[in-house]
Structure 1
């Protein structure tokens, strides 16, 4: 390419408006998990947005180094644009052509990159601009691209649709996009809850056959405790639905209602319409797990604590583990999927399998601060309640609290450490470990004076038998695993690069709660005694989770 240098070509490419210049996935530490979400969502958010989905998938595949597959996605996007928007194909294809130009540039095929750059320029010149134009179609394309990346991009997506609607206020596709983006923005920012409800209702009046919007509105109404209206919308959507995404969201609605058999049937139906994904398998596993909890709660209330109940619960836990195992065989797995499988193994008494999964989770990279904290909390629970390894549990609770991420997990670890410290402090004579725990907890909370007071008490105990070792008081305990000799039972695992966003939290229980542990089911709290389940039962309940997807 003698007449055009690579540098001048790149300068022209930077003027394009496409996925390569929108800086998508800029803050994503691991993009492997996103492909499944994008594939699942193609065409389900809005029938006119399939081309946009394939454009986004092409960009993602490029980031993964799969450029030939990316070219196939762009070819499919170009075909769909002709079908979906025959009257706007030239303008709509500007994004696809821009992606082609960038992709060929990265592949070193500069002549082909120039060809597509010229196609963009030829169209843009009609609007007095060399390489980009400001029009509703381009804003719409960017809006769908950002929306399909997840709720964290919803605010920017919403702005794109609003800007486009200023010029085309009657465009149904733009109204659908705005309604969905507003819902996503509320999920992230917790802004005014009624705004998406109003938008969804208004959009449904204009597009009454949009079953995706019906189930989305139903889920929002469910959060507002209007379950009756929500269920009516779900039933209407299911009468005509042929979309796996509609089945999945409807299943989520019934699962939150506690109608788990119905949720399971809808999840299974979704599998008939789309290839199995890690998310779908995991949600089915969670349904079986919660179904087991329902049976325990019901039989506790009815006073039935027999062998038949124990066997039924074990079968359901086995089914849950089976589907969670299938989830981990797929790409796009999140850390909480590993943690949930480990807790199922623990509930079934398979402690070695549980330990192996927890070790994988501990070694995963990269992880967010919240994910690291969750892993330490859940693994601490396992060591605390299943294995009786209090020192190991304390170490992981402390490691989790070092991560300055205020969360439910943080509060649970703090409460459990406080309880353990109180237990040791109440011993006669008081123990060094109890004061150390209290001191460390106070220090992490920023209460230096209280931390010094506790450390002084620990120092007083330490100085009675010895004048050495004072410095060890002011550091957190070292890892019990690191202090053990490696033996045949200790295996180190390489952590995979998979991670995620639907999070299932482990529960830390107080002394009283462990006598009769509360389970949250069907929107209300009940009590289920673990006493009749066998020797592992108390620990099994300690790893129970609040389910979120």
Structure 2
């Protein structure tokens, strides 16, 4: 009866499954298969694009909220960088799962291209279109994603013989360089390389030279902090200033570099000149304040920082610099005999407020955690200081240099505030055991050596302290000094196997 009914309807039954339904199902499966192939093909094309989504800019290396606020502030005060800023802002919005907002920022990037580069719209839009394609892909709007992939590929074919959206335009290299600078220290070397590549095509381009100088400045400061090879940036900064005489943040960086080279008077002339050009430009003001803080004119630095903060109230950099200024003032006041307690308390509250703002907005800013913990320690709020140190010590994503710096600061906290020499020695040595050279490692080595020698010379030290000093010398590669210490420790504690084994291994390493 059922088969007859199917036959009347023009459907042939096979077993209990209507053939038309089976055909429909097969067609749906083919459509899905084709869709999967199409999606995979789209993904392959997307990966060939030059844009923020393919530059491996990882959100764990930045505080997204702080980065977003920095870019928004930059857009407000630096009109000529809108294209770069809107593209970065779009990517940040995507990382925050706000793809609709990401699209709105890409639209603004397009408008900025039309306004500033009406004769080069296609060439200047390649990164923006690549970002569009990726955002639409993540929104599962694959047809629109494919449209933008095609726009990039077709434009690249016109501009170059290279297919699949790969093209080495200097503007694209520079845009990757600026994005890399925004994402922090992990990307400074890449930023330098990007600007170098851009400069190969246009060596006198002011924007490329500015980016290159900033990357070199940050790399040099990073190298000094982590005891890596220093590549001097003074001449690069001078060249950038020569091509960008009205770029006051560059003038300030040149001033800071001169200050670091003990040429502060020369540097201050650049700061004074820049203050006349842009007295209300917060990006410059923050560097000017840093210059005066380092010079010791903390009140002047605070005055400048307050002015800048009124213009950009969410700036992490400004909050951090203010926190450091107030912390310095607390330290200075505590050294004087007669200090109004009310003034000290006010400074404590200000320092804590600003430094807490920093770590809330940018949890990856490790040195700011130490600054806040040390401020708590200064005002005898030891439990809060301990809590901050422990939270950071338990992180497993810190760089070697960051970890060593935390060990040094926590060792100081244990020594100076908790009066625990044993714990201080333990943490200094933890920093020393990490072999990568850095400012933090060197400070750990100096601190633990000084502490142990003081104990030994005052005759409060025992075999343990002398043996520990032997370990310190050994970790520092000072084998002969280590041998002498272990020999003295064994003389005081003849049955100590640890010292005997350490001495034997040292003697063996010297003789082999």
Q: TM-score, normalised by structure 2?
A: 0.77
1:324 corresponds to 2:362: no
Q: Which residue of 1 aligns with 2:304?
A: 266
Paired residues for 1:35-50 under 5 Å: 36-37=66-67, 39-40=69-70, 42-43=74-75, 47-50=79-82
Alpha carbons of structure 1 residues 179 and 438: separation in structure 2 relative to 1, 3 Å: closer
Deviations along 1:226-258, whole A, 9 cap, x unmatched? 444433433343343443212211211222222
Of the three residues 381, 385, 390, the one matched with 1:359 is 390
Is 2:317 the counterpart of 1:287?
Answer: no
Q: Aligned pair 1:88/2:120, yes or no?
A: yes
CA-to-partner distance for each residue in 1:343-379, whole Å, 9 max, x for gaps?
Answer: 1111112222222222222223311111111112211
Alignment RMSD = 3.4
Partner residue of 2:61 out of 21, 31, 53: 31
User: Are 1:358 and 1:379, in contact at CA under 8 Å, matched by a contact in 2?
Assistant: yes
Task: Pick the aligned partner of 2:89 from 26, 46, 57.
Answer: 57
Indicate if the aligned counterparts of 1:321 and 1:341 stay in contact, CA closer than 8 A. Answer: yes
- Asked if the contact 1:400–1:410 (Cα under 8 Å) also holds between the matched residues in 2, the reply is yes
The 5 A counterparts of 1:190-205 are: 190-204=230-244
Larger deviation: 402-411 or 90-99?
402-411
Match of 1:144 in 2: 178
Q: Check the 8 A contact 1:179/1:196 in 2, yes or no.
A: yes
The within-5 A match list for 1:152-231 is 153-168=187-202, 171-187=205-221, 188=223, 190-204=230-244, 208-231=245-268
Q: CA deviation at 1:224?
A: 4.1
Shift of the 91–319 alpha-carbon distance from structure 1 to 2, 3 Å rule, reads same
Change (3 A) 1:214 1:427: closer
- What is the Cα deviation at residue 50 of structure 1? 2.2
Verify: 1:71 aligned to 2:114, yes or no. no
Query: Shift in Å at residue 63 of structure 1?
Result: 4.6
Distance 1:314 1:101 in 2: 54
Q: Which residue of 2 aligns with 1:539?
A: none
Q: How far apart are the structure 2 equivalents of 1:334 and 1:402?
A: 23
Q: Distance in 2 between matches of 1:356 and 1:159?
A: 40
Deviations 1:17-50 (A, max 9, x none): 222333345xx8x323366246425459964322
Matched position secondary structure for 1:195 = helix
Aligned match of 2:472: 441
CA distance in 2, matches of 1:182, 1:398: 33
Aligned to 2:21: none
- In the alignment, what sits opposite 2:365? 334
1:14 is aligned to 47
1:422-501 correspondence to structure 2 within 5 Å: 422-425=453-456, 431-447=462-478, 451=482, 454-455=485-486, 458=489, 461-462=492-493, 470=497
Q: Radius of gyration: which is bigger?
A: 2
- For residue 234 of structure 1, what is the aligned residue in structure 2? 271
How big is the shift at 1:101?
1.7
1:344 aligns with 2:344: no
Q: CA deviation at 1:452?
A: 5.7
Q: TM-score, normalised by structure 1?
A: 0.73
Structure 1 gap segments, 5+ residues each: 300-304, 476-549
Deviation at 1:284, TM superposition (A): 0.4
Q: Please report how far the alpha carbon of residue 94 of structure 1 lies from its aligned counterpart in structure 2 after TM superposition.
A: 0.8
Counterpart-to-counterpart distance in 2, 1:163 and 1:411: 35
